[in-house]
Chain A
């Protein structure tokens, strides 16, 4: 079954590859603009160190930025979800700040943090914070009231309630937030690197445009997409392991 599913998932990608090859064969665009798939594949051999270094630079930024966002947003979200007064206090602010695209803060980030890792990581942090925060708050809200009553009747400490009840109950939603955060962080890093940093995949493809290396641009885009897919699969894998207890509880699509 898994093999068939894997093969099915490749169908749209194969169709795209065929369309691309046909476009090259029929010279829809000059080869200097649209290189053949084979030429792009060669980039992964000839320019492998460049691709690898830049990919690692981008990945590191996202990992650092999203980790910081996780450490900030999850505890905060658990508190906001648990205590009504904090929710009333923060609701408007969250709605305002989450509507601001992180990219629009690049100019400010450059002014305050200069060129380098700092502005990129700060923007990824912001891109990851809002989905994590909002989903964590939502996760806390979905807790069955009886479970909180059980804890109160057992005279459990507030710390135990947070650790053993609120956090596990919110975990599935937190992972949904993490998937969105990783996706948002990855989008942000590529854009930020085109402006605020001198390394990473975003920088690499912008630089490739200046040197007219469209094969390198497309190779960069392929890598960006592939890493996005891998990151999402990784989060899903961790989620299905951490939330094993949910197996058989959630609906399966027909």
Chain B
């Protein structure tokens, strides 16, 4: 098990209108290749900021981040990101959206088409290849976002509340599909969520964040066998423990 993602004393301070805002402080963690790790916390706790920094889209104010043994200097070729608002190009069809990351890497058109077909099949998007994003449901849009992220065989899949805007039913389906993809692709997943249940359903390990400035309050291993049953005793015990750690003012979700 090699250390795949490493954060050393990472902090982030934004210049705000009323003075600097400290979003994150002293984040230290390492994540092994193949792990499914959830970053859990209330909104505004800096967990998305951390993900964006690991994706190379933001630079930390202090500390270092390394992905696949290389200190980050912009987006890593080994990682791919999935956004909550899916980030699909509205002027591209499903196929062209799925092909974009490969096109950015200079993959030939024939190879792109072939690989895109494979991932479109994997994410159950057959028959929708020539549709535009606004013609798809929210769940299907997010499938396109996931398919696009997978096309470059990323060693790390960075997911920023990808299912946050979906209804419960669709979210459940996509969670199952994501677990299957994770198992077949053997990729590392870093998954930001504010839902305790979602974190418990998916993760091997949960990092719990405290709000303002965001810090890691707890690092919890989830050893429950999959598929996990939210009704089980172990699950609800862990959920109760997490609720205490997150410091919910009110029960969220």
Residue ranges of A at the interface with B (Cβ–Cβ < 8 Å): 144, 146-147, 149-157, 160, 164-165, 168-169, 171, 243-246, 248-249
Q: How far is the CA of A152 from the CA of B87 in the complex (A)?
A: 12
Pair A147/B104 contact, Cβ less than 8 Å: no
In angstroms, how far is the closest chain B Cβ from the Cβ of A100? 35
Cβ of B85 under 8 Å from chain A: yes
Q: How far is the CA of A150 from the CA of B91 in the complex (A)?
A: 15
Pair A245/B81 contact, Cβ less than 8 Å: no
In angstroms, how far is the closest chain B Cβ from the Cβ of A125? 29
Pair A245/B101 contact, Cβ less than 8 Å: no
Please give the number of chain B residues whose Cβ is less than 8 angstroms from any Cβ of chain A in the complex: 26
Beta-carbon contacts of B63-95 to A below 8 Å, as 1s and 0s?
A: 000000000001101011101010101111000
Pair B91/A149 contact, Cβ less than 8 Å: no
Pair B100/A146 contact, Cβ less than 8 Å: no
Cβ of B216 under 8 Å from chain A: no
Which residues of B94-129 have CB atoms within 8 Å of chain A's CB atoms? 100-101, 103-105
Pair A245/B91 contact, Cβ less than 8 Å: yes
Contact A150/B87 with A248-B134, A248-B135 known, Cβ cut-off 8 Å? yes
Partner of B87, one of A147, A243, A248: A147
Pair B83/A146 contact, Cβ less than 8 Å: yes
In angstroms, how far is the closest chain A Cβ from the Cβ of B132? 5
Contact A151/B91 with A146-B85, A245-B132, A248-B135 known, Cβ cut-off 8 Å? no
Query: Whose C-beta in chain A lies nearest to the C-beta of B151?
Result: A154
Partner of B57, one of A149, A245, A246: A149
Cβ of B41 under 8 Å from chain A: no
In angstroms, how far is the closest chain B Cβ from the Cβ of A33? 54
Partner of A153, one of B57, B89, B91, B134: B57
Q: How far is the CA of A153 from the CA of B75 in the complex (A)?
A: 5
Q: How far is the CA of A171 from the CA of B74 in the complex (A)?
A: 29
Pair B134/A249 contact, Cβ less than 8 Å: yes
Query: Whose C-beta in chain A lies nearest to the C-beta of B57?
Result: A149
Q: How far is the CA of A168 from the CA of B97 in the complex (A)?
A: 13
Cβ of B56 under 8 Å from chain A: yes
Contact A153/B77 with A245-B90, A249-B134 known, Cβ cut-off 8 Å? no
